[in-house]
Amino acid sequence: MKKISNEKKLIKQFLLMDCGTLVFGIVFFLITNMMGEKTTILGAAIATIIFWIFDFVLRGFLGKFKEC
């Protein structure tokens, strides 16, 4: 089995975080519109960006992005 380098691990973590953020944005948009709120795509995008920033900061404080 090949060893994955530290840089590839970090890239993989960022890509997983980005995919999770996209899923959050889509679900946020769909659920808020199903509840009757008139959420625009711009509003959902802003909420997604805020979620990504909080997720990045939280993972940084938890040490998820430390190089092994």
* 3-62 confidence digits (pLDDT tens): 667 778 778 888 888 999 999 999 999 999 999 988 899 999 999 999 999 988 888 777
pLDDT at 68 over 70: no
1 pLDDT band (50/70/90 cuts)?
A: low
Q: How far apart are CA 33 and CA 29, in angstroms?
A: 6
Q: How far apart are CA 47 and CA 12, in angstroms?
A: 23
pTM over 0.85: no
pLDDT (0 to 100) of residue 39: 86
Say if residues 24 and 48 touch (Cβ distance below 8 Å). yes
Of 11, 10, 5, 8, whose CA–CA distance to 65 is shortest? 10
